[in-house]
Amino acid sequence: MNEYDSERMADLLASSHGLTPVEDPDRADVLILNTCSIREKAEDKVYTQLGFWRPLKEQDPARIIAVGGCVASQEGERLRRRAPFVDLVFGPQTLHRLPDMLDACLAERRPQVDLDFPDLEKFDRLPERPGRNGPTAFVTVQEGCDKFCTFCVVPHTRGREYSRPMPDIIREVRQLVDQGVVEITLLGQNVNAYRGATGLVGEGDLASLLERLARISGLQRIRYTTSHPNNLDDRLIAAHRDIPILVPHLHLPVQSGSDRILRRMHRKHTVAEYLEKIHKLREARPEIRISSDFIVGFPGETEEDFAATMDLVSQVRFDQSFSFKYSSRPNTPATRLRDSVPEEVKDRRLAVLQARITSFAQQYSEAMVGTFQEVLVTGPSRRDPAEWTGRTLCNRPVNFSGPAGIAGQIWSIGIEEALPNSLRGRFGSPDMPVAASGRA
Ligand code: SF4
């Protein structure tokens, strides 16, 4: 979501002040740090980066330094006290006011801080998206969260749940498809809690939004992230069965396999309820891959709780997932719990968990060797620009040699080798069923 927000900040400042991105901070008139507070030590990283930028401000006091995102939201006025050379501080919900803040800062010659949560106006005030190179795009459809898991900063930094009206989203996606985008990822902190105005009567859920987006001609893949298990209802499960362009991959964070820890996390679901949803999903779309987020070493997690997480991983056979050691985030209820799990125990549990998840992910990758996979060619490979890189339906990177001019197209690629984090493929084998589509 921060990537989306950063793009939108660039769009805003391009349309309001004609600013364009530069590679070198020395050449920037405005330096913006868009921050994320989800990981440990995020604040420290922000202040370290600001320390690097301080000499640039001293060299040229007219240069503007801005800090946005969740750390700004969390730190508030403290940020200005610790780094008084910062000119603009804004939260994720006020990024649309950036041009006005910049004008006010220049006119009044004093810093501006805006950490409001005016959720209704943000998306109305963002400019149309300019053409971008690339066949994939993020589209934020929902922001904020009402779940208040005890470890999470999101409800405190992004605010309560808000869903964009469907007509606005459909317009944005149509525009992106006209620009050559063939795959969109719908974003929201709690995306499957989406309930947006339909533009006709009342509100619609994520399943209705997906149905409407799937009718856009030229759109070939839809993903959405991140979901809460409680909002995965039967209608959304049916959408996975009925909408062919909805990819067979779902990121559905469970966090722990122990009901006791899930209660302490205030996740409001049990392991059995989670498994029931996975079962229904697999009935609806047998080839679907499930990934998750896990936290190990949550306060009070015993060896028994951790063993329950390992059991759950084996039952579900998760594909590539994210796992972290618990660390307390400022202003969250879990900070009041005693962080009882020693660091070395957290390290061990994390290593054990990651090894198990990696082994399942590797099995999935190896099962693809010798098959043809539908691959969206996203551009030249970073490691070897003479090669192409693309993504399978389950979002595995595939690198392969191929003819010029296929970026943005979907091809059937023969998979030859499963590497730890990617696949090697072959373009143009004689019996390969070619399924070229998309736009050059
Ligand atoms: S549902 Fe997700 S975003 Fe909401 S509080 Fe829980 S972890 Fe955070």
| DSSP per residue, 366-431 | HHHTTSEEEEEEEEE-SS-TTSEEEE-TT--EEEE---TT-TTEEEEEEEEEE-SS-EEEES--TT
Q: Are 190 and 147 in contact (CB under 8 A)?
A: yes
pLDDT of residue 121: 67
> Which atom of ligand 1 is closest in space to residue 293's alpha carbon?
7
> Which tokens in the block code for residue 220?
């070939």
Closest ligand 1 atom, residue 146 Cα: 4
- The listed CATH number (3.30.300.20, 3.40.50.12160, 1.10.8.50, 3.40.50.1010) that belongs to domain 2-120: 3.40.50.12160
Q: Decide whether 132-247 matches 249-368 in CATH topology.
A: yes
pTM comes to 0.88
At the top level of CATH, which class does the domain 249-368 belong to? alpha beta
Q: Classify domain 369-438 at the CATH class level.
A: mainly beta
DSSP reduced 3-state for 189: coil
Q: What would you report as the CA-atom Rg of the chain, rounded to the nearest whole angstrom?
A: 23
Q: Which atom of ligand 1 is nearest to the CA of 145?
A: 4
152 Cβ below 6 A of ligand 1: yes
- Alpha-carbon distances of 91 from 123, 146, 201, 298, rounded to whole Å: 14, 18, 32, 28
CATH number corresponding to 132-247: 3.30.750.210
CB neighbourhood size of 95 (10 A) = 24
Domain ranges for the chain: 2-120, 132-247, 249-368, 369-438
Reply yes or no: is the peptide bond before residue 226 cis, omega within 30 of 0: yes
10-residue mean pLDDT series, the chain (440 residues): 88 93 93 87 89 95 94 87 94 88 92 78 72 85 93 87 95 94 96 94 96 97 97 98 97 98 97 98 97 96 98 96 90 89 96 97 95 94 92 95 92 94 82 41
Ligand 1 close to Cβ of residue 189 (< 6 A): yes
Residue 164's Cβ-count burial label (10 Å; 0-12, 13-18, 19+) is buried
pLDDT for 109: 87
Strands (E), 17-59: 30-35
Question: Looking up tokens 């991983």, which residue turns up?
Answer: 313
From the CB of 158, is ligand 1 less than 6 Å away? no
Determine if ligand 1 sits within 6 Å of the CB of residue 190: yes
Q: How far does residue 428's CA lie from ligand 1's centre (Å)? A: 44
> Comparing C-alpha atoms, which of 106, 90, 92 is closest to residue 17?
106
Look at the block and give the residue holding tokens 């191929």: 402
pLDDT for the residue numbered 172: 94
CA of 189 relative to ligand 1 center, distance in Å: 7
Position 78 scores a pLDDT of 87
